[in-house]
Amino acid sequence: MNYRVVNRLFTLAVFSMPPIVGSATSVVWHGGALWCVFEVLSGRRRLSPDTAMRWVALLMLVYVMANVVSFLVNEPSLAMVYKLLPLVAFLLFPFSYSIWTISDREEVAHALVFGAATASFGALILALVQYKYIGMRAEGGAGNALVFADVVCLAGLTCLAGALILDSRRPFLLLLAFVAAFAAVLLSGSRSVWGVMMALTLLLLFICRTRLMVLLRGRLLALAGIAILIVVLTSGLIMERFEALWQNMDKLTEGGDYNTSVGLRVALWKIGFQLFAEDPLFGHGMQNVSTLIREGIEQNFGLEVGFTHFHNGFLTILVEGGIVAGLAVIAMFALITVIAVRSLAKAGDRLERLGGAVLLILAAVYAGGGSVNLIFGHDILDTVFMIFLIIGLFLARGTSRLADAGAPLPSR
């Protein structure tokens, strides 16, 4: 066994898991990443020289340091140090990337898309059971409908990108996996992710329109039939979710009722902007946000509810870590998007284009879906961000270090 084999299997595993087993994905990735830290710090392996990875890692380090400083200047205590634990994932990123690149890019690309296909089909099975037989919004193994929708959206769009870009022997299977993921996202009832997934689907179809026409030959009727079936079966849920949205909007605008999903989001945003204005430089610390939200909602809106974030990932980052943390994250998303666009423009390298598609999907889902939910601070979301970012960067701009693959893994 060597890292070329292990990394291919690890890629297949971690991309299959998020919608199905949820936090177990985080345990597996963090365990692997800690081993990567040991490999690099012990001198057995070297950090990757890839420039794109190093710029992203630098921005992550700025984000981490801004949050540590914010913690220290906002009445720190040993009892609250655990609030900083989500930052560990960002420190592990360059080490995980460096060992993961001891791989064949082609093998990793195929493991990526078929892992995503497994996740998509598994997500649909769980979603159907939860929605039809338990009568709940689908949340799969994630334990949260919005988190489930985000990770399934990423998996499904990766399958679509794989079918359109990768010269796969099973493109129809990947298209079916995309349809399964889309159905699972619908069953989650997460309206914001519906919009993001539909917009990204249209964008990918436009970018890869030539390949699309080839794939649809002889399959158009089958895919259209499946799509119509999904819309018919989920039409009740779609109408129900939009009716609830209009009702919440009416209650907020006409009666000033903030005790609805829409009203609470507006209340959270108002409190968040007030808190950011109070201390834009250092923020209020990751340890204080839950308390500040609870107190702000009770004092300003007379409601007794608790939240850990502001249902806007960027606003949460600004309040927790201040303007430096916020700018670091915005710069990171901008850099990822630039790399994605440049990679997609290179028609000659399909692996580079696939990496660009994965990065574009990642940035859009986290920035778009995160604008009404979380971006970072949830173990599943943090882990999924890391694995998609690592493989996207590796395919789009990475250097395969197969010269290191022949060295056997040390016995444990």
pLDDT in tens, 343-389: 998 767 899 999 999 999 999 999 988 888 889 999 999 999 999 99
pLDDT of residue 406: 54
Whether pTM exceeds 0.85 = yes
What distance in Å separates the CA atoms of residue 404 and residue 336, rounded to the nearest whole number?
27
pLDDT above 70 as % of the chain: 95
Worst-scoring range by mean pLDDT, 84-88, 97-101, 243-247, 285-289?
243-247
pLDDT at 111 > cutoff 90 = yes
pLDDT of residue 29: 97
What's the one-letter identity of residue 249?
Answer: M
Query: Among candidates 7, 8, 9, 29, which has minimal Cα distance to 18?
Result: 29
The Cβ of residue 132 has, within 10 Å, a number of other Cβ atoms equal to: 12
Tens digit of each residue's pLDDT (9 = 90 or more) over 195-226: 899 999 999 988 888 777 777 766 667 777 77
Half-sphere exposure of 46 (CA within 13 A, CB side): 9
What distance in Å separates the CA atoms of residue 191 and residue 321, rounded to the nearest whole number?
28
Give me the chain's average pLDDT, please.
89
- Element containing residue 127 per DSSP (H, E): helix 105-128
More confident residue, 169 or 120: 120
pLDDT of residue 412: 32
pLDDT of residue 359: 97
pLDDT of residue 411: 40
